[in-house]
Amino acid sequence: MTLEYLNEYQNNVDLNRLIEIKKERDLWWDRESNLDYLNALKSLPEVHTKSFNYSQAAVTIGDSSEISEEEKKQIIDSMQSMLPWRKGPFNLFGIELDAEWRSDFKWERLKNSISSLEGKKILDIGCNNGYFMFRMLEQNPELVIGIDPMTACDAQFQVMNKYANSSKLHFELFGVEHLDCFKGLFDTIFSMGIIYHHRHPIQQLIDIREALVPGGEAILETIGIPGEESYALFPEDRYAKMRNVWFIPTLSCFINWAKKAKFIDVEVIAATPLTDEEQRNTPWCPAPFQSLNDFIDPEDPTKTVEGHPAPMRFCIKAKRR
């Protein structure tokens, strides 16, 4: 897949730089560690469907009556070779894929608070396997680009879009460091579960703001900690067993980050505890892969295993002036 779909947006995209980045990232597929993903994608049967439902909890593509038992087995074997599945749920030709995260919980929390996505250009930062991108299709956007520098996520997205066959959706192995390749392009940007994984939260928010059209909307979601004052936890080592965690804000701190980055009309969409209803092990993310209950102190659910405050989920929306 090339970047030809961006040609019409060249005034807002550093296309030459993105082409060079894409050439380099495409070489990642030559690594031996990705051989299983490539073989799994090649073994998927050629089946065509016009049966889609993006409006319910499980992204539903195809119907069980459209595939044979042998084709069903091929699809299941391919998807199982891509474990763990972190985001979902999906239903592919009647195959129920209950991922680690009930991502539909997050979508339900925010979907009635965001502006219409119809005809809009959208960026999903850290899109994982594209669950939210498929949910966006219900509103008929013009373009949805998901970026995530993980070939495992790309492979899982390719499974689903092989059969959804949506020309509106595009997955790229780009990271947040490439946000500055986009200027004034997107009507809506989703950044959900990303900002705490990077060391410069304010700069990341500025880059998001600059990638929006004037008046564009950012949907910003993060783990956070309880507290009324504006401060952020900066763990010395791990947080909930994660090494790649930098700043974990209170809600007021998160709001202030957005304001410091010159967003306006900052509104709280949700502030909820994270529970094992939303994040847990499933057959599609089985042990020994770990999930929320492995990260929380079994004697005190208000603490992580390191003794930090247990995570909440904060979601805000904000606009570019």
Residues 6+ apart with CB under 8 A from 56: none
pLDDT tens-place string over residues 34-54: 999 999 999 999 999 999 999
Report how far residue 157's alpha carbon sits from residue 169's, in angstroms, rounded to the nearest whole number. Answer: 10
- Mean pLDDT across the stretch 23-28? 97
CATH code of the domain covering residue 278: 3.40.50.150
From residue 108, how far is each of 104, 105, 186, 195, 266 by CA, in Å? 6, 5, 22, 21, 20
Which tokens sit at 167? Answer: 């020309």
Report how far residue 243's alpha carbon sits from residue 229's, in angstroms, rounded to the nearest whole number. Answer: 25
pLDDT of residue 224: 98
pLDDT of residue 171: 98
Cα angle 18-10-128, degrees, rounded to a multiple of 5: 45
What one-character DSSP code corresponds to residue 310?
A: P
Supply the DSSP string of 127-181, one letter for each residue: -TTSHHHHHHGGG--SEEEEE-S-HHHHHHHHHHHHHH--TTEEEE---GGGGGG
**Domain tally, the chain:** 1
What one-character DSSP code corresponds to residue 114?
A: S
pLDDT tens-place string over residues 72-105: 999 999 999 999 999 999 999 999 999 999 999 9
Cis geometry, peptide bond prior to residue 288 (ω within 30 degrees of 0): yes
The domain in which residue 55 lies consists of 4-319
Which tokens sit at 196? Answer: 């705490």
**CA trace torsion 292, 93, 170, 142 (10° rounding):** -110
Contact 41, 201 (CB under 8 A): no
pLDDT tens-place string over residues 219-239: 999 999 999 999 999 999 999
Mean pLDDT of the chain: 97
Closest CA to 142 of 11, 6, 12: 6
With a cut of 80, say whether residue 183 has pLDDT above it. yes
Contact 180, 206 (CB under 8 A): no
With a cut of 90, say whether residue 259 has pLDDT above it. yes
pLDDT of residue 1: 67
pLDDT tens-place string over residues 151-177: 999 999 999 999 999 999 999 999 999
- Mean pLDDT across the stretch 136-142? 98
From residue 271, how far is each of 69, 110, 227 by CA, in Å? 44, 11, 12
Its pTM stands at: 0.97
pLDDT tens-place string over residues 287-298: 999 999 999 999
